[in-house]
Amino acid sequence: MARVALFPGSFDPMTNGHVDVLRVALELADTVVLAIGIHPQKAPFFSVEERTAMLADIVASLEPPIRQRVSVMSFGGLLTDAARASGATVIVRGIRDSSDVDSELRMAAMNAVTAPEVHTVFVAASPMNRHISATLVRQITDMRGDPSAFVPPAVATRLAARGARIGR
Ligand code: PNS
């Protein structure tokens, strides 16, 4: 049976660290669902439609044999419900450093009770990209800096439209 992994996140925006984690997820599973979590109380930098379009562009830029194994969705409810609806047996979460570990373990433990058949796997991005955070990418953009070293080209283009100083 094909193994499906769900890689959830806010992806606001997707960074090169997320892309690293996606590539590892593709080695662990036959198909990977990129799942954009929608927080009704949080005002996002990019709308869910913009994030969906960016993720679709990033997937389209992957090598043909692997891009066919990635799909994009969004969800507004529980992560475990999204995993079950996708037929995923694995949830992939990226870990940057020890500051991520406690909260991620807490979330994984709660999700393991809600959906015991779905296992959370933690993946570290490559050392080059491990430090990247979407929060800092947004901050650099707001301050008219150049975040293009931290994000895929499809994201850099959209950040430029939001005031980032890409290559200027
Ligand atoms: O990239 P992020 O912001 O760390 O992603 C967070 C996300 C979307 C994975 C998280 O907010 C989430 O799981 N949302 C769904 C709500 C849920 O299932 N809550 C219970 C988890 S214990």
74-107 pLDDT, tens digit each: 999 999 999 999 999 999 999 999 999 999 999 9
Residue 136 resides in a domain:
no
- Identify the pLDDT of residue 5: 98
Cα 145 from Cα 127, distance rounded (Å): 23
Tally of structural domains, the chain: 1
Closest residue to atom 13 of ligand 1, CA basis: 79
Cα 113 from Cα 117, distance rounded (Å): 9
Residue 157 resides in a domain:
no
Residue 144 resides in a domain:
no
Say yes or no: CB of residue 120 within 6 Å of ligand 1.
no
**pTM above the 0.75 mark?**
yes
Residue 159 resides in a domain:
no
Parallel, antiparallel or unpaired: strands 90-95 and 4-9: parallel
Contacts of 18 by beta carbon, 8 Å cutoff, 6+ apart? 7, 9, 11, 94, 125
Residue 40 resides in a domain:
yes
Residue 160 resides in a domain:
no
Domain of residue 62, CATH code: 3.40.50.620
> What 3-state class would DSSP assign to 127?
coil
Closest residue to atom 22 of ligand 1, CA basis: 107
Which atom of ligand 1 lies at the shortest distance from residue 75's CA?
15
Note down the domain range covering 97: 4-129
Q: What is the pLDDT of residues 32-64, one digit of tens each?
A: 999 999 998 889 999 999 999 999 999 999 999
> What 3-state class would DSSP assign to 90?
strand
